[in-house]
Amino acid sequence: MLGVIGVGAIGAAIVTGLSEGREAPDLLLSPRNAVIAAKLAASYPNVRVADSNQAIVLLCVRPADARRVMSELTFKTQSLISVMAGVPISVLRELAPPVRDIVRAIPLPTVSARRGITPLYPAIEPACSLFNRLGSVIEVADETAFDRFSAATATIAAHFLYMHQISDWLATHGIARGQARHYVAAMFAELASSLQGRDPDFQELMQEHATPGGINELFCRVMGEEGAWKNVDAGLDRVWQALMDRQKSR
């Protein structure tokens, strides 16, 4: 029996991926997010909603709610898996005595289709088996490296903002907004197929699409001249520092 506290976007994706895969495990959902929990329980026979949070071992709540939610639980010796960004194992141990096996994970929404690639620290059971069912696992060497992976996920919203900016440029130059969005979405969806496999070479893919003297090469050069690529590093550095500052304040 796997218990889940918090069935927001990531929690629901994990439940969906496990329930639609082979040999779906029994899942016990916390009464938090009652509407979503009830919908999942109605959709899958292996899922039910608990009367309380006491049997839960997978924490999917917001980091800001960690202390309050965990103070309401009685922990025993079960394993604890946390998907809360910026909450280090030292704090989790403080909030969940006498649990010994504590794992941090960074699942992405693709776990719902069992295509997730989930960093784990430490990469121990039962977390490895759980997330391998939902795709594959990256065994992270230490907690500092784990937090670097966490910082990288901060770029997801910016990816969609980038696509919005392109479609908005088309719209301001006379293209119907719906048509512009549809075209940009299709362009990037097709490119995503180039990223299949364990080790895509981004530099090589860029060169394949940047014909010398062509418009892709021109755009890349202009973006570099305007400091866009350096700003990516600056943004990630700021996110990293914010994560470290949050950990110090917990």
Query: How many residues belong to the chain?
Result: 250
> What are phi and psi for residue 121, nearest 5 degrees?
-145, 125
pLDDT digits (tens, 9 = 90+) for 101-160: 999 999 999 999 999 999 999 999 999 999 999 999 999 999 999 999 999 999 999 999
Lowest mean pLDDT among 180-184, 199-203, 230-234: 199-203
**Confidence grade of residue 169 (pLDDT, cut at 50, 70, 90):** very high
Q: How far apart are CA 97 and CA 121, in angstroms?
A: 19
**Confidence grade of residue 199 (pLDDT, cut at 50, 70, 90):** confident
Residue 31, pLDDT score: 77
Long-range contacts of 186-191 (CB under 8 A, 24+ apart): 188/163
| Range list of H helices, the chain | 9-20, 34-43, 66-71, 89-95, 127-132, 143-152, 156-172, 177-192, 202-209, 215-225, 228-249
> Hey, what's the torsion of the CAs at 242, 135, 30, 22, to 10 degrees?
180
Please report the DSSP string for 25-37 in residue order.
Answer: PPEEE-SSSHHHH
Given a cut of 70, whether residue 55 has pLDDT beyond it is no
Residue 54, pLDDT score: 56
Axis-axis angle for helices 177-192, 156-172 (nearest 10): 140
Q: Are 31 and 23 in contact (CB under 8 A)?
A: no
**Confidence grade of residue 56 (pLDDT, cut at 50, 70, 90):** low
What is the reported pTM? 0.87
**Which residues of 23-130 form beta strands (DSSP E)?**
27-29, 47-49, 58-59, 80-82, 102-105, 116-121
Residue 195, pLDDT score: 84
Mean pLDDT over 35-62 rounds to 85
DSSP 84: -
Q: Which residue do the tokens 């996110």 mark?
A: 239
Residue 52, pLDDT score: 63
pLDDT digits (tens, 9 = 90+) for 60-89: 988 889 889 888 888 886 789 999 998 999
Residue 161, pLDDT score: 98
Q: Are 80 and 92 in contact (CB under 8 A)?
A: yes
At 219 the three-state DSSP class reads helix
Domains and CATH numbers, the chain: 2-140 (3.40.50.720), 154-247 (1.10.3730)
Q: Identify the bridge partners of residue 120 per DSSP, sorted by sequence position.
A: 105, 139
Specify the amino acid at residue 21: G
Specify the amino acid at residue 241: Q
Mean pLDDT over 222-243 rounds to 96
**Confidence grade of residue 194 (pLDDT, cut at 50, 70, 90):** confident
